[in-house]
Each structure stands twice: as C-alpha cells, then as structure tokens.
Amino acid sequence: MNYSVIAKEQISFLHNFIQATDPDLGPVPKEAGPMRKRARKLYNRLCTPVRIIVAGEFSAGKSTLTNLLVGKKLIPTSVLASELPPLLFRYGQTTQIAAGWWDQKKLVPVKDVNFDAAVKMDPDFILVTTPNPFLKNINIFDSPGTSDPLSDDSKMQHLITSSEATIWCTNAVQAWRESERYTWSSLPAINRKNSILVVTHIDLPAVKRSMDRVMQRIRKEAGELFQSIIPVAAPRALQAAPGGVVQDKEAWKECGGEAIFAAIKSIADPIREKKLVDAAAIIENQLIPFLEKMRQAGSGEKSSGTHVAGVPNTGFVSGSQTGRKIDNQPVDFNATGRKAPGMTPEHPLLSEWNAMTRDLISKFENADDPEVRGLIQSSYNIVMEMTDRLTLIDPRTAEHEWITNQFQEALDQLTLMQLETGEEPLESTAILLLQLSRDLEQATTQESMPRVS
C-alpha cells in the first residue's frame, strides 16, 4: 500500500469536506456540525505522524536511545535529567526548541537550542525539531528521568495518553525487574498493544559475557508482552550512523541500530495503515453519503473531481466548485449494497445495543450524584459486551470488520478516559456512545451484515 499517495488524497478530500460544510460559506443542514467535527478529527489524525513514547525506569538509557533515533546527541547533559520535562521530537527544517504547555496552543521558541533557558520557563514539555527524515513519519517522546509513568504527574499522563506505541528501555545489567513488569502491566492497553522492549547497555563487558542467558530470561518473562525485543548499544550505534546516515554497516548491525529501526517500522506501518482504512470507511459510509444528501437537498451543482484513495469506487467523486468546494455524483445505493434505513426491521444487534445504552442512561439519570468514573466503567462494560458479540459473528464482511474496529477503538478510548479528571470525560463518553449507536445503525443497515448474533 502506498501510504503517502492514499493519505494525500484522503487529506485533500477531508480538506474539501471541511470547507463544504463551513457554515460561514453558506447555509448547511444542522447535522453538518458533527460531521465536520468528525472530518476535522480524521484530518488531524491523518496529518499527524505515529507518536512513540520512549519509557522505562530511571537511567535505563531512554535519552541515549532517543538521540540514536533522531540521529544526533540533542538531549543535553548540562541540564539535570530530573529537571527536564518530556521532550517531543518532530521533523523541522532546522534544529530548534520551544517550550510548550498541554493546555495552550502557543509554543514559546527558545533561542540557540538553550535547554536551560527552556527549563526555567517550567513548561509541560519541550518541543525539539530537527531535520531528520525519519521524523517525518514518526514523532518521538522522550519521557523524563524520575517520573513514575503511573504517578499523578499530568505531564506524564498526557504524554502516555497521546502516544500510540511504546519503546520500553530496560538496562541489561538488571534487565526486566519486577518493578518494571508491574509498571508495564499497569499502563493503558493502547500503550502496551504496539510495543518494543529495548535491552540497553549490551556493550558493557559484564553484559557481553552473560548476554545469551540474559536474553533467554527476558524472552521467557517478557516475550509475550512485546511485539519485539531488541538488544541495543545506543552510544556505539550512534557513532556508526552520525546524523542518521549509516557509515559503518557492520557496527550498525552489531549494535542493534538496524534492528531497532526495522522494529519501529513494523509497528508504525500497521498503525498508519489502520488510520487509512478507518478514514476510508468513515469517508465512504458517512461523509460521502452526507455530501450527497446535502447536494440533493440543496443547490443542484454540477460535479467534477476524483475518486478518494482507499475508498471503494462506488461512483462517488469529489472536487472543487464555485462556492461550496465539494460536490458528488448521484449515489447508486445498489452498487454498494446500501439500503435506505428503515426498509428492513431493526437488526437484533442494534436493538440489543439500544436497550443497553437506554438502561445505562436511565441508571445515571436517576442517580442523585452520578459518578463520572462509574459511567465510564459501565460504558466500557457494554462496549466490551458488544465487541465480544461482534467478534463472534460469522461470516465476516468488510462492514462487520469496520464496526468491530469502531467498538475496539472505543474500548481503547474509554480506557484512556478513565485516566482523565473533571467533567470532560463525561461529555466525551456520551459522545462516544452516541457515535457508536450511529455507527452500528449505519453498519446494520447494510445487507452484508449477518443477522445472526
């Protein structure tokens, strides 16, 4: 799959959709708001590189590994590691740093890559940009020295919840200690799902002597918890590939440089692929039909445009128009197996889901003092139950894969919401349930969705 071409076309479609539903450019139906929000979310998702957090215990070698990944010794040794906030590495034309706060959009640029000056501003994170092409597709978060990833430290929690994959560093001298196993098992599922265990310090003479035994034990104890386990001597690997350009192939291989980049690629590619597949399903099932409805109800503009990559060709096109930016050809519902809702009795799964959500809502409406965590937990339970039911359905169809993915993703999101505080998760949970109801309704109106459950 050529990610960049497909992503480009999807991004361009979403960009046009966002303009087409802009209330400032002309009247839009009232449902346009949520659709536009969804398109914007998808747009941001597709434009953001895969975010990987480098985590592990104190002094495990996280920053040294991060330096290797960004191709330069960028992380200062002058600043006490314990004073550094999380560092975010992104691609940029030049090497620069800026101080940032999670709840603010603005970043404060700091001159001369002066980390001491940045730390004095007490930021939640420091953004580091550098022109390493690897960072065009991957963002790296170096987590700070002393923070226990499970502490109440909001800087860390934000970092963990916004990353999509984790590299856990363990020092070969005392590899995979009980405390690490405990911390690891307590991290959110989404962080553990896409993960690499990096065994650091393998160049130390004492480690070299017992390497086979150490690796055997780690594989036995942690093999099932990670997608791959890679031994790395990061300082020497960095020497073998200064600036990210491999100069000593043998040393690069021997120090684990080649293996760690290959392992990252093999977790990042499926994440990117899934984003494209999800986006294609939402564009096909929701956004294009919505545009079509808008077109029928409205202007009768002519269409012109291109097929959206990653979306099955159903005769939909999108393109630029005067005024509104997108228009579509009439939809051939038969061509997609799509049926107008309401033509067949409600799918048993949808009835069941609606009953579950009704119960949940009435339970919380009738409670004197509804507790946010309780609602999230109960929502998690019903989403889990429905995910199980969906997983059992046979035969599997594309529609069915899509809706199962929506539910699985919702489970991840609900797991993350349990870490949040305040009233916001309450609203997010309600929106999530509503969205799932709409998705399920959409999926179950397809003929291809088996009615056995």
Ligand X SMILES: Nc1nc2c(ncn2[C@@H]2O[C@H](COP(=O)(O)OP(=O)(O)OP(=O)(O)O)[C@@H](O)[C@H]2O)c(=O)[nH]1
Using alpha carbons, select from 44, 50, 46 the residue that is nearest to residue 7: 46
Q: SS3 of 339, please? A: coil
Q: Which of 36, 38, 51, 62 binds ligand X (CB under 6 A)?
A: 62
Using alpha carbons, select from 295, 293, 312 the residue that is nearest to residue 303: 295
Q: Which of 159, 234, 287, 331 binds ligand X (CB under 6 A)?
A: 234
Residue 4 is inside which H or E element, if any? Answer: helix 3-20
Closer to ligand X by Cβ: residue 145 or 188: 145
Shortest CB 255 distance to ligand X, Å: 8
Asked if residue 147 binds ligand X (CB under 6 A), the reply is: no
Shortest CB 124 distance to Mg ion, Å: 17
Please enumerate in sequence order all residues whose Cβ is within 8 A of that of 286, keeping only pairs 6 or more positions apart, or say none: 35, 38, 442
Tokens for 113, please give them: 């890559």
Closer to ligand X by Cβ: residue 86 or 305: 86
Q: Is 52 left (phi over 0), alpha (psi -120 to 50) or beta?
A: beta
Rounded to 5, what percent of the chain is helix, strand, coil?
Answer: 55, 10, 35
Chain residues in the site for Mg ion (CB under 5 A)? 62-63, 81, 145
Asked if residue 419 binds ligand X (CB under 6 A), the reply is: no
Closer to ligand X by Cβ: residue 234 or 376: 234
Shortest CB 239 distance to Mg ion, Å: 19
Could you say which residues in the range 127-146 bind ligand X, by CB under 6 A? Answer: 144-145
Closer to ligand X by Cβ: residue 65 or 277: 65
Q: Which amino acid is at 181?
A: R
Tokens for 402, please give them: 């899509």
Using an 8 Å Cβ cutoff, are 53 and 160 in contact?
Answer: yes
Shortest CB 75 distance to ligand X, Å: 7
Closer to ligand X by Cβ: residue 200 or 442: 200
Could you say which residues in the range 76-95 bind ligand X, by CB under 6 A? Answer: 81
The residue of the chain with the least Cβ separation from ligand X equals 145
Closer to ligand X by Cβ: residue 244 or 257: 257
Q: Which of 200, 318, 413, 446 binds ligand X (CB under 6 A)?
A: 200
Using alpha carbons, select from 202, 447, 190 the residue that is nearest to residue 340: 447
Using alpha carbons, select from 314, 310, 367 the residue that is nearest to residue 336: 314
- Cα 32 from Cα 35, distance rounded (Å): 5
Asked if residue 432 binds ligand X (CB under 6 A), the reply is: no
Q: Edge-to-edge strands of the sheet including 107-110? A: 107-110, 96-100, 125-130, 87-91, 138-142, 50-56, 165-171, 195-200, 228-231
Using alpha carbons, select from 9, 3, 2 the residue that is nearest to residue 311: 9
Closer to ligand X by Cβ: residue 57 or 439: 57
- Contacts of the segment 145-153: beta carbons below 8 A, 24+ positions apart: 145/58, 145/59, 145/81, 145/82, 145/84, 146/58, 146/81, 146/82, 148/183, 149/55, 149/183, 149/187, 150/183, 150/186, 150/187
Asked if residue 150 binds ligand X (CB under 6 A), the reply is: no
Closer to ligand X by Cβ: residue 19 or 59: 59
Asked if residue 211 binds ligand X (CB under 6 A), the reply is: no
Q: SS3 of 419, please? A: coil
Shortest CB 71 distance to Mg ion, Å: 17
Asked if residue 203 binds ligand X (CB under 6 A), the reply is: yes
Q: Could you tell me which stretch among 60-68, 90-98, 223-231, 239-247 binds ligand X (CB under 6 A)?
A: 60-68
Asked if residue 372 binds ligand X (CB under 6 A), the reply is: no
Please enumerate in sequence order all residues whose Cβ is within 8 A of that of 448, keeping only pairs 6 or more positions apart, or say none: 337, 397, 398, 399, 400
Q: Could you tell me which stretch among 111-119, 199-207, 243-251, 437-445 binds ligand X (CB under 6 A)?
A: 199-207
Closer to ligand X by Cβ: residue 82 or 306: 82
61 binds, among ligand X, Mg ion, none (CB under 5 to 8 A by kind): ligand X
Shortest CB 78 distance to ligand X, Å: 13
Asked if residue 63 binds ligand X (CB under 6 A), the reply is: yes
Q: Which residue ranges make up the site for ligand X (CB under 6 A)?
A: 56, 58-64, 81, 144-145, 200-201, 203-204, 233-235
